[in-house]
Amino acid sequence: MKRVVFTTVVAIVILSLLATACAPKPAEEEKKTFKVGVLASITGVAARTGMEQKNAVTMAFEEIDYKIGDYDIELVWIDAQADADKAARAYEEAVVRDGIQAGMNNFYSSVAIAVMEVAVKYKIPHFCGSAESGTIVDKVRSDPERYGYWMGKTWPVPESLVAPPYLAAMNEVTEPGDRRVAVLSDDGEGPTSVRIAVRDTFAADGWEVVADEYFSINELEFYPLISKLRDQDPAAVLICTSAVPAISAFVKQAREMELGSVIIAHGLGWVGEWYEMTGPASDYVLDQIPQWTTDEAKDFAKRYEEKWDEVPSPSSAGLAYDYAGVFIMVAERAIEKYGELTSETLYKVGQEELWTGKLTYKDGILMKEYKWTQETYPDALVGKDNFIFPVIQYFGGVGKIVWPPEWAEAELQFPQ
């Protein structure tokens, strides 16, 4: 009888252990993974810019050990190739094949306009698309609930961010009778919007627009155009293109042909090694680029160069690093407010707090505060304490601020 009881007890213990071993783990012990698609032109004509963004975002997530709350963050790199159609296909693949639950970053307006439709289709909240086109603003404002998945557009429209500072800087050094301007861009959505904004802003202030032209993003031969510009003798020539080879070629050829205008090469400094591409030809060129001014910014630039063995640009690497910080902030808030990190909770925080100005990002290295309001959304708020690019003039590969006056490090000069 004792042997039967003992055998029964042993059997019960064994069955209990087996049941415990085979039982599913409690939900809190299960690994939680959240996938974020990072959109950047990693290959193609804008690869230099895209790689800076990829490297900077990598650094931001390495610093938090790819953890937000109790979620492991998996980054999925989406190669936009600076091509709208290719970017949209790649983004959809990232949703369907890779299972991304949110997206972040971007640099080009044409890409943003195409990709935002994919984000809306699959209800993927996408944060900090750095594209300036007013078309994006119009879409979001036309249907905030639907197109609000394109969250927190960081680069405001050129009518408010780009054109007024260039006009103010040039007005300080020109007389009314000399105020002639030429505007050029590639035929992409973003550069075109810059060209039109500068053209219209200068014209409204009384400037004569002597040329208004666009070219292919792959263009490298500008001699005929520069020859025509020499005859028209504008005080300022704006060129805007997302292709580094094109903008550097124009700058070098303009200097070679001794064009006497102040060249506004908008975006020349978007890659860290722009001076190696232009050399002394870039002297006297104007640009709008955020600067490594704070200790935190300088520390980031140093760490970036040590890690990747290349000099970063504030407008590529620096902004992408800050955009990652914005996303991390929103994700942390989603967990705090709703107890979980999902596409839906990110969307809710974006709608309820980010675009109403309740949630702002003050830990960036370039801007004092990234803030959106119901009046400016989807654009970030423009201002000296918010999103702003100073006008700089290059000499010897170094840009010095010439506008606004209270930040000025030098006076704007015409080519000698």
CATH code at position 184: 3.40.50.2300
Low-confidence ranges of the chain (pLDDT < 70): 1-29
Specify the pTM: 0.80
Task: Clarify whether residues 225 and 142 are in a common domain.
Answer: no
Task: Clarify whether residues 189 and 277 are in a common domain.
Answer: yes
- The position carrying tokens 């591409």 is 277
Task: Clarify whether residues 165 and 146 are in a common domain.
Answer: no
Contacts of 393 (CB under 8 A, 6+ apart): 284, 285, 286, 287, 399, 400, 402, 410, 412, 413
Task: Clarify whether residues 69 and 143 are in a common domain.
Answer: yes
Task: Clarify whether residues 280 and 396 are in a common domain.
Answer: yes
Total domains, the chain:
2
85 located within any domain: yes
255 located within any domain: yes
Task: Clarify whether residues 140 and 68 are in a common domain.
Answer: yes
Task: Clarify whether residues 47 and 177 are in a common domain.
Answer: no
Tokens representing 215 are: 């070219």
At residue 153, the pLDDT reads: 92
Q: For 41-72, how does the pLDDT look when each residue is reduced to its tens digit (9 = 90+)?
A: 999 888 888 999 999 999 999 999 999 999 99
At residue 13, the pLDDT reads: 44
278 located within any domain: yes
At residue 17, the pLDDT reads: 45
Contacts of 301 (CB under 8 A, 6+ apart): 292, 311, 312, 314, 317, 318
At residue 27, the pLDDT reads: 45
> Are residues 271 and 48 in contact, defined by beta-carbon separation less than 8 angstroms?
yes
182 located within any domain: yes
One-letter amino acid for residue 250 of the chain: F
Distance between CA atoms of 255 and 252, rounded to whole angstroms?
5
Backbone φ/ψ region at 99: left (φ over 0), alpha (ψ -120 to 50), beta: left
Task: Clarify whether residues 35 and 53 are in a common domain.
Answer: yes
Shortest CA distance to 174 belongs to which of 236, 109, 85?
A: 236
Which domain range does residue 398 map to?
A: 159-271+273-289+389-407
At residue 54, the pLDDT reads: 98
At residue 131, the pLDDT reads: 84
